[in-house]
């Protein structure tokens, strides 16, 4: 007898999780994300969808993460993780959105049955799920709704507790590769911390010890990650955690964390009396998947080292190791960015050989870091899923969003090549071992602030770079990010990797006219997939001009679409 959908148990439990009227949910850039107190029905339904996804993939374990990452504390969200630890396949995002919006229990069941038919899901297959949440106060209730979903369909669900988003991604791949030749790691936090810290220690052996690193944990789950990894790192790296108040109401991501630093281009006020000139510091975001570095110069001035600077540092380091290992020409390193990438970073990466043009202090050192191999650089729409897939096309694909979200991927062929390559000199052997250690240090499932932090520290240790020297790789073009609250952000549609608007009609031409008036001007507008806003980016040669351009474009957006005058961007020009 073919297995049937347990309609009765689904219907009964679904009645406990009714969809609120007048809310339209959308699976966006990183899953569903909105106010935590309206998400109950979504979590229940996602529980069932995760189980169906697992059945569709022959019982592979699917991940579910309950988080709203960089968003304010009152928001929450949920996203699904596919078996190799990557983001959910795009076609299923559409299923997720329609299931979340089914008005009643019977509509929901009808849609489930339609999905089972159209996706040819064999219900007799097992359903395996692993799930976790961050530290948000709304988390426990939402997890309870999710668990009702698992119960309703009879999924075998493992609770990974409170942990970072990247650790959940790591668990998913580790569970699914257990006992295979591609075994990714042990599916426990201990396995994760051991894997990362052992690789890090190998990479920095013999290098001068770096001074302690100040870590802003955004008052989120990263605080737990940082405190847990510290004993594993021992003397190899001293971390000084700040903003670790995970239970203080309202503290999460508030005037701290990677998004605050990147958007406001400022030091978190809580670090003002902590950070000494020249000292390195970094900020994680609320679920520890983003990382931004910074330092104060001798005059106490703040300098940010964002995702673009991380990409430049890491990509050049990998290119150099590939060359030193005798694998130049055999392993192509590529970089993937989004429209938010600073114009200078794209130029730096695309012309790696001429980096000295952008360097004013460390000319010799940077020239040595350069390679004759030109780095291919691609631009894709915002969202890790887009960057990740594009990076998979390279032998080593380095991807970072300017907001600090990113990683590096070593293709299976590259991994094999590294494992089988026979070095002919001791120097080649050392470089090869470093590359192999990097494949273990880097969380290749998704951007991971803790893993990325150790990666950055590795390169800094190898190069004996301070923040200042790293910063000198290229000079950022001044830029400004502005959020505009509009009546309907879905009216904004883009093309050309989000660099141009196709709707509302006529708006792009007005933006083009404005941009022309600014030296080195660049601007684009796109709807956010995680917040109910439209984002505006402006870049120009002079800071005041970048600010003016961004706010003028924000003004165009606002005037075009109308909205509540109270939400008019403050610094309107």
Active-site amino acid positions: 69
Q: Residue 529, interface with ligand G16 (CB under 6 A)? A: yes
Whether residue 420 is annotated as binding a ligand: the answer is no
- The residue written with tokens 């997939």 in the block is 529
The CA distance from 560 to 466, in Å, is: 46
Least distance to ligand G16, CB of residue 494, Å: 11
Which residue number, 199 or 446, has a Cβ lying nearer to ligand G16? Answer: 446
Separation in Å, CA 221 to CA 136, 144, 255, 300: 9, 19, 16, 30
Check whether 287 is labelled as a binding-site residue.
yes
Is 526 known to sit in a ligand binding site? yes
Residue from 535, 536, 539, 561 in contact with ligand G16 (CB under 6 A)? 535
Pairing of strands 522-527, 500-503: unpaired
Q: According to the binding rule CB under 6 A, does residue 531 interact with ligand G16?
A: yes
At closest approach, how far in Å is the CB of 140 from ligand G16? 20
When asked if residue 285 is in the footprint of ligand G16 (CB under 6 A), the reply is yes
For position 405 contacting ligand G16 by CB under 6 A, the verdict is yes
402 assigned binding-site residue? yes
Options 147-155, 179-187, 400-408, 453-461: segment touching ligand G16 (CB under 6 A): 400-408
Task: State yes or no: residue 160 binds ligand G16 (CB under 6 A).
Answer: no
Answer for which of 45, 290, 388, 552 binds ligand G16 (CB under 6 A) is 290
The reply on whether position 539 binds ligand G16 by CB under 6 A is no
Distance in Å, CB of 531 to ligand G16, minimum: 5
**Residue 533 CB-density burial (10 A; 0-12 exposed, 13-18 middle, 19+ buried):** middle
Q: Which is nearer to ligand G16, 139 or 326 (CB)?
A: 139
Give 148 or 259: the residue with its C-beta nearer to ligand G16.
259
C-beta closer to ligand G16: residue 69 or 355: 69
- DSSP readout, 210-266? PPPEEEE-TTSTHHHHHHHHHHHHGGG--EEEE---TTSTT-TTSS-HHHHHHHHTS
Please select the residue that binds ligand G16; options are 382, 444, 494, 523, rule is CB under 6 A: 382
Pick from 389, 357, 352: nearest CA to 373: 352
93 has binding-site annotation: no
DSSP class per residue in 136-196 = -TTHHHHHHHHHHHHHHHT-EEEEEEE--HHHHHHHHHHHHHTTSTT----SSHHHHHHHH
DSSP 392: T
Q: How far is the CB of 223 from ligand G16 (least distance, A)?
A: 16
Query: Given the structure tokens 């002079």, which residue do they identify?
Result: 542
On whether the CB atoms of residues 287 and 165 are closer than 8 A, the answer is: yes
227 marked among binding-site residues: no
Candidates 4-12, 376-384, 416-424, 490-498; binding stretch for ligand G16 (CB under 6 A) = 376-384
Which residues between 473 and 502 bind ligand G16 (CB under 6 A)? none
Residues contacting 95, CB < 8 A, separation 6+:
49, 115, 119
Q: Is 164 in the site for ligand G16 (CB under 6 A)?
A: no
User: Cα separation of 178 and 187, whole Å?
Assistant: 8
Reply yes or no: is the peptide bond before residue 504 cis, omega within 30 of 0.
Answer: yes
Token pair recorded at residue 572: 């309107």
Candidate residues 528, 532, 568, 569; the one interacting with ligand G16 per rule CB under 6 A: 528
In the list 93, 401, 452, 560, the residue contacting ligand G16 (rule: CB under 6 A) is: 401
Q: For residue 221, give the nearest of 311, 174, 160, 130 by alpha carbon.
A: 160
Match 């949440």 to its residue by tokens.
Answer: 133
* CB closer to ligand G16 out of 320 and 448: 448
Residue of 36, 334, 383, 521 that binds ligand G16 (CB under 6 A):
383
For position 530 contacting ligand G16 by CB under 6 A, the verdict is yes
Torsion of CA 566, 568, 572, 573, to 10 degrees: -110
**156-162: strand order across its sheet:** 32-35, 75-81, 61-66, 128-133, 156-162
Number of residues in contact with ligand G16, rule: CB under 6 A?
Answer: 18
Binding segment for ligand G16 (CB under 6 A), chosen from 148-156, 240-248, 398-406, 552-560, is 398-406
**Of 17 and 535, which CB lies nearer to ligand G16 in the complex structure?**
535
Q: Is 225 one of the binding residues for ligand G16 (CB under 6 A)?
A: no
Residue 15 CB contacts under 8 Å (≥ 6 apart), including other chains = 105
List, in order, residues 6 or more apart from 28 with CB less than 8 Å away: 528, 529, 530
Between residues 217 and 418, which has the closer beta carbon with respect to ligand G16? 217
Residue list for the binding site for substrate: 401-403, 526-530, 535
Which residues sit in the known binding site?
A: 69, 285, 287, 289, 401-403, 526-530, 535
**Contacting residues toward ligand G16, per CB under 6 A:** 29-30, 69-70, 285, 289-290, 382-384, 401, 403, 405, 528-531, 535
Q: Which residues are annotated as a binding site for Mg(2+)?
A: 69, 285, 287, 289
């Amino acid at each position: 007898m073919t297995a049937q959908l347990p309609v009765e148990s689904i219907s009964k439990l679904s009645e406990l999780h009714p969809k609120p009227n007048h809310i339209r949910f959308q699976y966006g850039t990183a899953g569903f994300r909105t106010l935590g107190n309206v998400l109950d029905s979504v979590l229940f339904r996602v529980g069932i969808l995760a189980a169906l996804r697992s059945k569709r993939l022959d019982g592979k374990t699917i991940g579910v993460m309950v988080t709203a990452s960089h968003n304010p504390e009152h928001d929450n969200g949920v996203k699904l993780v596919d078996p190799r630890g990557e983001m959910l396949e795009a076609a299923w995002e559409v299923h997720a959105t329609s299931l979340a919006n089914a008005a009643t229990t019977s509509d929901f069941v009808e849609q489930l049955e339609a999905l089972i038919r159209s996706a040819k899901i064999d219900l007799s297959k097992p359903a395996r799920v692993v799930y976790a949440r961050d530290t948000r106060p709304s988390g426990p209730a939402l997890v309870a709704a999710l668990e009702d979903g698992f119960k309703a369909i009879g999924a075998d669900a493992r609770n990974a507790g409170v942990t970072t988003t990247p650790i959940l991604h790591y668990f998913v791949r580790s569970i699914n590769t257990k006992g295979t030749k591609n075994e990714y790691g042990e599916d426990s936090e201990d396995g994760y911390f051991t894997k990362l810290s052992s690789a890090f220690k190998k990479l920095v052996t013999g290098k001068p010890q770096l001074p302690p690193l100040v870590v802003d944990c955004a008052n989120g789950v990263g605080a737990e990650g940082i405190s847990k990894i510290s004993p594993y790192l021992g003397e190899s790296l001293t971390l000084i955690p700040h903003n670790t108040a995970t239970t203080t109401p309202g503290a999460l991501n508030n005037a701290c964390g990677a998004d605050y630093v990147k958007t406001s281009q400022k030091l978190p006020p809580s670090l003002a009396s902590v950070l000494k000139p020249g000292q390195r510091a970094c900020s994680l975001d609320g679920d520890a998947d983003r990382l931004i570095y910074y330092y104060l110069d001798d005059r106490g001035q703040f300098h940010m080292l964002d995702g673009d600077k991380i990409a430049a540092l890491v990509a050049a380091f990998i290119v150099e190791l590939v060359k030193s290992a005798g694998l130049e020409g055999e392993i192509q390193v590529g970089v993937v960015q989004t429209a938010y990438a600073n114009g200078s970073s794209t130029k730096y990466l695309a012309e790696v050989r001429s980096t000295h043009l952008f360097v004013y202090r460390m000319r010799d050192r940077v020239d040595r870091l350069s390679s004759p191999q030109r780095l291919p650089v691609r631009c894709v729409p915002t969202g890790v899923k887009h960057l990740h897939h594009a990076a998979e096309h390279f032998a080593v694909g380095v991807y970072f969003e300017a907001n600090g979200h990113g990683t590096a991927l070593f293709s299976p062929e590259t991994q094999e090549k590294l494992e089988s390559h026979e070095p002919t000199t001791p120097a080649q052997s050392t470089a090869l071992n470093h590359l192999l250690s990097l494949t273990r240090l880097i969380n290749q499932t998704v951007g991971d602030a803790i893993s990325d932090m150790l990666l950055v520290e590795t390169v800094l240790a190898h190069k004996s770079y301070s923040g200042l020297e790293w910063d000198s790789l290229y000079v950022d073009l001044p830029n400004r990010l502005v959020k505009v609250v509009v009546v309907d952000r879905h009216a904004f549609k883009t093309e050309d990797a989000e660099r141009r608007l196709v709707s509302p009609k006529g708006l792009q031409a007005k933006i083009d006219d404005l941009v022309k008036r600014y030296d080195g001007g660049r601007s684009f507008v796109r709807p956010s997939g995680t917040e109910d806003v439209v984002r505006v980016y402006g870049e120009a040669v002079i800071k005041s001009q970048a600010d003016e351009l961004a706010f003028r474009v924000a003004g165009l957006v606002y005037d075009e679409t109308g909205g509540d005058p109270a939400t008019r961007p403050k610094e309107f020009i």
